[in-house]
Structures are given as structure tokens and as C-alpha cells.
Amino acid sequence: MTDNPWKFDNKRKDAFLMSVWLHDVGKLSVPLEVMDKATRLGTKMETIEERFQRIHLLDRIALLEGRINTEEWEFREENRKSWLDFIRRVDKASFLSDDDLQKIHELSRLHYTEENGTEKSFLTDDELDCLSIRKGTLTDKEREIMQSHVILTGKILEKVDFPDDFRMVREWARSHHELLNGKGYPEHKCGDDIPKEVRLLTILDIFEALTASDRPYKKSISVQGALHILHSMADEGSIDKEILALFEQSNAWESVV
């Protein structure tokens, strides 16, 4: 395919491979609790478990001291267990319905009484934000932190004195989340503002993210499943159809050990 307009010469290929190796270097500055957040609550789930156990003990004390009767104790226990089971389910759910979100906000309005008489909410504001994520595991704030890795990649690579043949590595690397329809980041580039090297890197990055088996926050999917998603993105104008077709024809993933 020597006449292929997308073919790189050796120097261009080496520079492109360098951008592939370095494109996520900015993730070194992303906190692991954001990078590897596997569920909506992450480590916050342990805190909630401990709080609900405390509520159980407080209710038990109230029963023993005669401040509540057995019927009320049993009602509170059943209610507490039901809410905790609900939180556990929501924490790991792939998608939340409107009913789920409504119930989460009902839970956020519930309070319990400490030994000193002060009232506290069943959920903190941070926990409510996490449980209110309709899809995925990151809050808006956490997503901003994650997306900042491309800016950090650019800043880190600014400090590298690349030779002339590698002068575009920094720009290619920092732009790998830009999309043709302008809905990417960090600069919302679109169309011809995105070079072919970046278009290819974006496809490779998405494919790897979908098929990787070492991501604690999601399960890997099959090659065909990943290609189906990529084709959907191409149809909506996010990624380059022609480069995607060449990638699919290459079966490049078969050579990965």
C-alpha cells in the first residue's frame, strides 16, 4: 500500500510512536483515588458502612435504655438494612434510573441522632454527589481532574528538548482526546484542525481503553465490541472513518502479545 495517503515515512512513524508512548504521561499527576475509582463511592463506601453500623449501635442503645420499643427497633433495623443494600447496589450499578436518583435524594434527607443529641445526615454532600452519578464512576469534579491529564502532558513535554523530527510529539500527545466534531478536550478542536496522527492516536487510545483488562473501574470488552463502539463514534462524527477502516483492516491487535 505504498500509494496510501495515510502512510508515514520512517521519521514520521518514529515521531508518532513517541507520541503514543508519551500521550498519558500527565496521568502521573492524577490521584490514584480518581484514576482507579472502580465504583461511584470508591473508598467512601467503607465510611458509609461504618456509619450505618454506628446507627445500628445507637439504636440498640436506645432500645436498651427504653427510649424506643421493640417494634420501633425492628422497624429501624429493617429500614437501615434496606437503605444500605440500596447504596451497595447503586454504588456498582452501570446506570441509574430516575427512580434510583429520586430514592437517593430521599435518603439524603434522612437523619440519625448521636449520643450527644446532635442530628446528622445519613449521607454527606460528597457521598450524595457520588451516588447521584447517572453513568460511570466519576463526579464532575473528578472528571475535570482526570481530563486535566492532557494539559499536564503538554506541560511536561514542554520541558523536553525534542529534535526537529520529533517537534510535533508534544502537540500530538496532548491532543489525543480531541474529537472531529469539537466535543473533545482540552481545546475542543474540530475537523481539519486535528492532524491525521492525532486522529489515529485517538482511535488507538479508545480501542485500548475498551479492550484493556487491567482497568479497575470497568470490565474489558471484546475486539468486535470495541470496533462496534468505534464505528458508532465514526458515524456520529467523533472520529475519522477512513483511518478507522484502515485500523480495522490491519488487525493490528493480533500482533500484541
SS3 for 121? Answer: strand
209: in domain? yes
Quote the CA–CA distance of 116 and 188 in Å, as a whole number: 53
Query: In this predicted structure, what is the pLDDT of residue 257?
Result: 45
pLDDT in tens, 185-194: 999 999 999 9
Q: Mean pLDDT for the chain?
A: 93
Whether residues 153 and 241 share a domain: the answer is: yes
Q: List the beta strands (DSSP E) in the chain.
A: 111-113, 119-121
Domain count, the chain: 2
Whether residues 59 and 153 share a domain: the answer is: no
Mean pLDDT of 146-157: 95
Quote the CA–CA distance of 47 and 220 in Å, as a whole number: 29
5: in domain? no
Whether residues 77 and 180 share a domain: the answer is: no
- Report which DSSP code applies to 61: H
Helix pair 196-211, 223-235: axis angle to 10 deg = 140
Query: Whole-prediction pTM value?
Result: 0.82
Q: What number of other Cβ atoms are within 10 A of residue 194's Cβ?
A: 22
Q: Are 76 and 59 in contact (CB under 8 A)?
A: yes
Q: What number of other Cβ atoms are within 10 A of residue 28's Cβ?
A: 11
Residue 176 pLDDT > 50, yes or no? yes
Confidence of residue 1 (pLDDT cuts 50, 70, 90): very low
Give the domain range for residue 120.
Answer: 44-136
Confidence of residue 44 (pLDDT cuts 50, 70, 90): very high
Q: At CA 230, angle to CA 253 and CA 143, rounded to 5?
A: 105
Q: Are 127 and 4 in contact (CB under 8 A)?
A: no
185: in domain? yes
Q: Is the dihedral of CA 241, 243, 249, 251 positive or negative?
A: negative
Over pLDDT 90: what percentage of the chain? 86
Query: In this predicted structure, what is the pLDDT of residue 2?
Result: 52
The CATH number assigned to the domain holding 192 equals 1.10.3210.10
pLDDT in tens, 193-235: 999 999 999 999 999 999 988 777 778 899 999 999 999 999 9
